Amino acid sequence: MRSFYTIASYIFLALTLAFILFPIYVLIITSFKPFTEAFSYPPTLWPRNLTLEAYFKVFTHWGFTSYLINSLVITVSSVLLSVIVGIPMAYCLASIKVGKNWNENIAFFILSLRLLPPIVGILPLYVIYSHLKLVDTYPGLILAYTAFNLPFIVWILRGFILELPREIEESAVVDGASVFQIMIKIIVPLTYPAIIATAILSFLLTWNEFTTAVFLTAQYRKTLPILISSFIGDLQFYWNDMCAATVLSIIPAIIAVLLTQRQLVRGLTLGAVKG
């Protein structure tokens, strides 16, 4: 009976894995199909003629490089700015007590900003940006994504900082360390895995964000999600080109996760244990 449940569980896991990976498989093989074969019915599970035509076309016809540069500049800059601003905010909310339950109320208010649908803030933000000439600019998009990422980063880092022993900070105060020195030399090293984890998650959220980019870009600062959506037109669908662009857009995110894999796992595991 035990072996039956073991076999059944493995079969279930295998089917679940196949269900999850099959769309990715279709995405990849479609990117290697010619334009006509991408529309063939019944669809082929393996390309009859493997070709890199879609990948070349993505770069030469659709201008993939400019979209990639825009996404990298906006995403990396907004994540760095969010982390730089978010660490002091999280430390203040965790360490400085302001009245009874005020810290909890402020922290919940900050988190509630992240719970709002993006469209709620984008329309008034577009009006403000139009007057300030920030639409379709790097600073405008970086500031917008920083504002969206900050609540998430502050909330997560505050939870990690609260779990640190207070005796460490008290010992540093006795030794004459300032608040800034405590934050830089003690808090940041101890919460480094959590900082990396929140930074990577913010990177992925910003990298895949679509709604804000639609409203706050016009021509020069469009990001990869905007490019991918443009392959579906009113009269023509470029499925193989879209799949090729999607595969290419996934690569930077995969590289970011792989480069920080150890810190990411440590940060997520630490949060699970402390929770």
Global pTM reads 0.85
Query: 63-274 in CATH: which number?
Result: 1.10.3720.10
Distance separating alpha carbons of residues 20 and 68, to the nearest angstrom: 26
Distance separating alpha carbons of residues 255 and 203, to the nearest angstrom: 12
Q: Is 145 in contact with 208 (CB distance < 8 Å)?
A: no
Question: Scanning the structure block, which residue is given the tokens 């779990």?
Answer: 163
| Amino acid letter, residue 78 | S
pLDDT recorded at residue 15: 93
Q: b/e for 116-130, b at 16 or more Cβ within 10 A?
A: eeeeeebeebbeebe
- Predicted confidence (pLDDT) per residue in 250-260, tens digit: 999 999 888 88
Sequence spans of domains, the chain: 2-54, 63-274
Q: Is 203 in contact with 260 (CB distance < 8 Å)?
A: no
Residues of the chain with pLDDT under 70: 1-2, 98-104, 234, 267-275
pLDDT recorded at residue 6: 83
pLDDT recorded at residue 99: 60
Distance separating alpha carbons of residues 29 and 108, to the nearest angstrom: 45
Token output for 125: 């933000």
Distance separating alpha carbons of residues 7 and 3, to the nearest angstrom: 6
Q: What is the DSSP letter of 183?
A: I
